[in-house]
Amino acid sequence: MKAVQYRTVGGAPEVVTVPDPEPGPGQVLLKVAAAGVCHSDVMVMSLPAEAIRFPLPLTLGHEGAGTVAALGSGVEGVRIGDMMAVYGPWGCGACHKCAEGKENYCLRATELRIFPPGLGAPGAMAEYMIVDDARHLVPLGDLDPVRSVPLTDAGLTPYHAIKRSVPKLIPGSTTVVIGAGGLGHVAIQLLRAMTATRVIALDVSEDKLDLARRVGAHETLLSDSSAPDKVKALTGGRGAEVVLDFVGAPPTASIAAACAGVESDLTIVGIGGGSVPVGFGSLPYETAVTAPYWGTRAELIEVLDIARGGEVEVHVETFGIDEAPLAYERLHAGTIDGRAVILPNS
């Protein structure tokens, strides 16, 4: 079968032919309908050899959806032909965090060398993929796999970040969303669907700011050093109750900190190497800074339910599997609006 692989450190992703996978005991084989292209892959492909925790080649794709094509021995609860979304942050299934459904925070994944598909285990950017356990599948039902596959990460990650801040997002509150890309444009819609907050979106691209307005941002600002003063002006000098940084680079972390108000939540989701100093006087009183990772399986079910209600619509641009390297180039260049989705079987 064809697969999109990251094969050599520093190289570009390549479309190659690999053996068809067969499900072992407890595993599920999916015929992949759609695989999302995430900026985290670009980050992984920029790491030096010593920072890569898994062997290459790696089949990319940590957002996956497809139909159940075959079952390994002992698998129960899914049927051949069911359309499923893959819950990506695989854990051990047995530790305290996994018992709470928080496999994204599995306490033993590192020790047991359990990796998410596309981030260590073979991923969804192939005609078929192996899912290690049926519990990592969530039925899509009547949702379109192409338009909903980004919800498994570009939806789930912002949902998890927003959910913990919902009590602060009362009418009259303000949320600043930095980076209106794959995650950010879904975050804006989730904020509108889940809360009464006013959304101010920041980006460096006018096209992305246009998308931000179309998906529900009340205000948009270019992301530069003047943005915090503009946010302060828009909030009567208070600053934002919640700041979500979907870039997480040094300049955006500084902007995020300067937009935060007293008792705000400052959540750094992007993995661009930025950080925020915390200590008395460095931030407004009781600003809580956090850097979450992905979300829980229950939260994926919740995100898919929101999408079923029609309140979140991912903007997707589709590519055939042979065009996947181009999709990565376009993502790197910042010219994908919304999410790029690879269709390995069409």
Residue closer to Zn ion by CB (options 91, 274) is 91
Partner in contact with 39, chosen from Zn ion, ligand NAD, none, beta carbon below 5 to 8 Å by kind: ligand NAD
Residue closer to ligand NAD by CB (options 284, 334) is 334
Q: Which residues contact 280 (CB under 8 A, 6 or more apart)?
A: none
CA distance 332 to 43: 10
CA distance 310 to 334: 27
Q: Min. distance of Cβ 287 from Zn ion in angstroms?
A: 26
Residue closer to ligand NAD by CB (options 193, 249) is 249
Interaxial angle between packed helices 297-308 and 156-163, expressed in degrees from 0 to 180 and rounded to the nearest 10: 100
For 117, 187, 197, the CA distances from 114, given in Å and listed in that order, are 9, 28, 38
CA distance 142 to 150: 16
Question: Would you tell me which residues interact with Zn ion (CB under 5 A)?
Answer: 38, 40, 91-92, 95, 98, 106, 108, 153
- The per-type count for the chain, helices as H runs and strands as E runs, is 11, 16
| Sign of the Cα pseudo-torsion (216, 139, 132, 18, in order) | negative
Partner in contact with 98, chosen from Zn ion, ligand NAD, none, beta carbon below 5 to 8 Å by kind: Zn ion
Residue closer to ligand NAD by CB (options 26, 272) is 272
Return the DSSP state at 114.
-
Partner in contact with 182, chosen from ligand NAD, Zn ion, none, beta carbon below 5 to 8 Å by kind: ligand NAD
Q: Min. distance of Cβ 253 from ligand NAD in angstroms?
A: 10
Partner in contact with 90, chosen from ligand NAD, Zn ion, none, beta carbon below 5 to 8 Å by kind: none
CA distance 186 to 156: 9
User: Residue 24 corresponds to which amino acid?
Assistant: G
Closest chain position to ligand NAD (CB): 181
Q: Min. distance of Cβ 277 from ligand NAD in angstroms?
A: 19
CA distance 270 to 78: 34
CA distance 72 to 120: 21
CA distance 101 to 93: 8
Partner in contact with 293, chosen from Zn ion, ligand NAD, none, beta carbon below 5 to 8 Å by kind: ligand NAD
Q: Min. distance of Cβ 248 from ligand NAD in angstroms?
A: 5
CA distance 11 to 175: 38
Question: Would you tell me which residues interact with ligand NAD (CB under 6 A)?
Answer: 38-40, 43, 153-154, 157, 178-184, 202-205, 208, 223, 246-249, 251-252, 269-272, 293-294, 331, 334
CA distance 219 to 210: 10
Residue closer to ligand NAD by CB (options 67, 152) is 152
Residue closer to ligand NAD by CB (options 261, 338) is 338
Residue closer to Zn ion by CB (options 89, 228) is 89
Partner in contact with 43, chosen from ligand NAD, Zn ion, none, beta carbon below 5 to 8 Å by kind: ligand NAD
Partner in contact with 266, chosen from Zn ion, ligand NAD, none, beta carbon below 5 to 8 Å by kind: none
Q: Min. distance of Cβ 294 from Zn ion in angstroms?
A: 8
